[in-house]
Amino acid sequence: MATGLPYCGRFAPTPSGPLHFGSLVAAVASYLDAQAHAGRWLVRIEDVDKPRAVAGAADTILTQLDQHGLHWDGDVWYQSERDPAYQDALEQLHAQGLTYFCTCTRKQIKARGAHYTGYCRNRQRPATGSAVRFRNDQPTTKFNDRLRGDVTLEPLFAREDFLLFRRDQLYTYQLAVVVDDHAQGVTDIVRGADLLTATSWQLALWRQLSNREPRFAHVPLALDPSGRKLSKQNHAPALQANNVPEQLGAAFDFLELTGIEPSNSSAELLQQATIAWRAKYLS
């Protein structure tokens, strides 16, 4: 586990558009947890899926964080600049016999069931034109979440041989996030509950690539009136620069933080919220 290392948290948005309220909740939660632990808080732009990245979105996100008083430590990392590190990890896993080539299309996988069945595991596919999958022989079906306690994951999903490298020559989020969190010394991952199930795959990689693993805490998702997760795909409205105190206050309310007095100063609001976070989640 990450115990014994200096606390290090992070916020890692995808630059597919500006931040909205849902992403602000995740950013605030991870920031407050780092502040409550007197630790470091990093920002990483998760643009490993290069076609999804929108020009200028990363700069907009960094400006929005700054406007809300969410100031990060150190340099911002960009996954699009990290391909050599991901390739090194892929080669390490290959040397351990933990990868194989796969030519299955999404349509073929879906026709066989809800989860990938390991169809190409023993079929000796060629490297050219193939994806690379992780041989998930020691799946993680349970883990402890700091906010939710013991979490049991859907077994068929947890045991799936997931992708590390796509047929379109892009490294996957699952590989990149573990490689970068390890490289940056991240000890605590506080993020939205939409990534709860993916934790099983990421922990499986952590246990092969590192002698430690981080602590996880998944906060509830902000939903729209239809019950869907607030997201850029669902056209969630962007945060407004002229509404910072109100937006921070709404995020605090969503996270059920109490005792925070109104203020026009984001620094003062975040200081109060850190005290409230410590009382609610660390006492």
The verdict on whether residue 173 carries a ligand-binding annotation is yes
The verdict on whether residue 120 carries a ligand-binding annotation is yes
The verdict on whether residue 102 carries a ligand-binding annotation is yes
Measured CA to CA in angstroms, residue 38 lies from 41, 254, 274 at distances of 10, 23, 10
Report the 10 Å Cβ neighbour count for 195: 16
The verdict on whether residue 13 carries a ligand-binding annotation is yes
Catalytic site includes residue 110 = no
The verdict on whether residue 160 carries a ligand-binding annotation is no
The verdict on whether residue 171 carries a ligand-binding annotation is no
**Looking up tokens 């795959």, which residue turns up?**
201
The verdict on whether residue 46 carries a ligand-binding annotation is yes
The verdict on whether residue 8 carries a ligand-binding annotation is no
CA proximity to 238, closest of 63, 53, 65, 20: 20
Report d(CA 90, CA 164) in Å as an integer.
8
Angle value at C-alpha 16, between 26 and 200, nearest 5 degrees: 50
Q: Do the beta carbons of residue 212 and residue 142 sit within 8 Å?
A: no
**Looking up tokens 């939409």, which residue turns up?**
194
Catalytically annotated residue among 110, 229, 232, 280: 232
CA proximity to 201, closest of 47, 98, 129, 108: 98
Residues of each annotated binding site for ATP? 232
Active site residues: 232
Residues of each annotated binding site for L-glutamate? 10-14, 46, 173, 191
Residues of each annotated binding site? 10-14, 46, 102, 104, 116, 120, 173, 191, 232
Residues of each annotated binding site for Zn(2+)? 102, 104, 116, 120
